[in-house]
Amino acid sequence: MRYALEVMYDGTKFHGSQIQGNTPTVQLELNKALTTLLRTPTATYGASRTDEGVHARCNYYHFDVAEPLTGDLQYRCNAILPHGIAVKRLLQPTNPEFNCRFDAISRRYRYRVCAHRDPFLVDRALFYPFPLDRNLLDATAAVIKEYDHFESFAKRNTQTQTFICKIKQSYWEQKGDELHYIVEANRFLRGMVRGLVATQLRIAKNKETADHIRKIIEAKHSTKAFFNVAGHGLYLEEIIYPEGTFLVD
């Protein structure tokens, strides 16, 4: 039987989400917890890969078991997982072949930027104490929605077979003293969101024009974009599946 866990985690506690041998990652800790609780080797498969330092308010991992699970597995997982991870829900897909990566129809990320030094935002938002042209940020975010080929925003040596991403949302919003960038798409390339953020911030800081990001996108080469923003400002906020994907209690 196939089940899925909806999890959230503090990315600064792990070396990324995807398993890397015995290196502490989110997937490794989930595998260890399930293997202990179910008393049989259990492997999970993630919906979205996040890099070291990147947080997730919502990510999914599916796994298979031989017998139906009881409802207290969520509680028992949280009792033995490290403090940096929490299981939000245990879900049963309606389709026994459900794949949390390939069945997702969109993913939404949020990047948090703060202009003022705040000790409570260390490892939670990017400290960026430079004047930014908000109108220019809004314009560059709108340009991003016009395109679906993002080779310029994929880190080099990526093994992806396609650079096509369907952007559903791309905008900036003020949240108190913070400035947030929100982007939603059917899929993302490795390093893509941080590349979009870093490039837009540089354009707004230097008071260039929105056409500059258009030229970078159309160049289809990652040396034209910028990726130098910290992972700890980035949050995988939501993964969306078709209605009826999971059984409702």
Domain containing residue 215: CATH number:
3.30.70.660
Q: Which of 51, 123, 133, 138 is catalytic?
A: 51
Residue 249: band (very low, low, confident or very high) from pLDDT cuts 50, 70, 90: low
Distance CA 209, CA 111 (A): 21
Report phi then psi at 12, rounded to 5: -75, -10
The pLDDT, as a whole number, for residue 30 is 98
In 3D space, the residue among 189, 191, 192, 195 whose CA is nearest the CA of residue 161 turns out to be: 189
DSSP string of 62-88, one letter each residue: EEE-SSPPPTTHHHHHHHHS-TTEEEE
Distance of CA 189 to the CA centre of its chain: 11
**Final residue before a domain boundary, out of 78, 102, 126:** 102
Q: What is the mean pLDDT of residues 108-122?
A: 96
Q: What is the pTM of this model?
A: 0.95
Check whether residue 214 and residue 133 sit in a common domain. Answer: yes
- What does the pLDDT look like over 182-215, one tens digit per residue? 999 999 999 999 999 999 999 999 999 999 999 9
| Block residue for tokens 């982007």 | 183
| Strand duo 106-114 + 178-185: pairing | antiparallel
Check whether residue 111 and residue 193 sit in a common domain. Answer: yes
Distance CA 84, CA 88 (A): 13
Check whether residue 66 and residue 126 sit in a common domain. Answer: no
Query: Could you tell me the maximum CA-CA distance found in the chain, to the nearest angstrom?
Result: 60
The pLDDT, as a whole number, for residue 248 is 81
Which residues constitute the domain of residue 94? Answer: 2-102
Mean of per-residue pLDDT scores for the chain: 95
Catalytic annotation present for 123: no
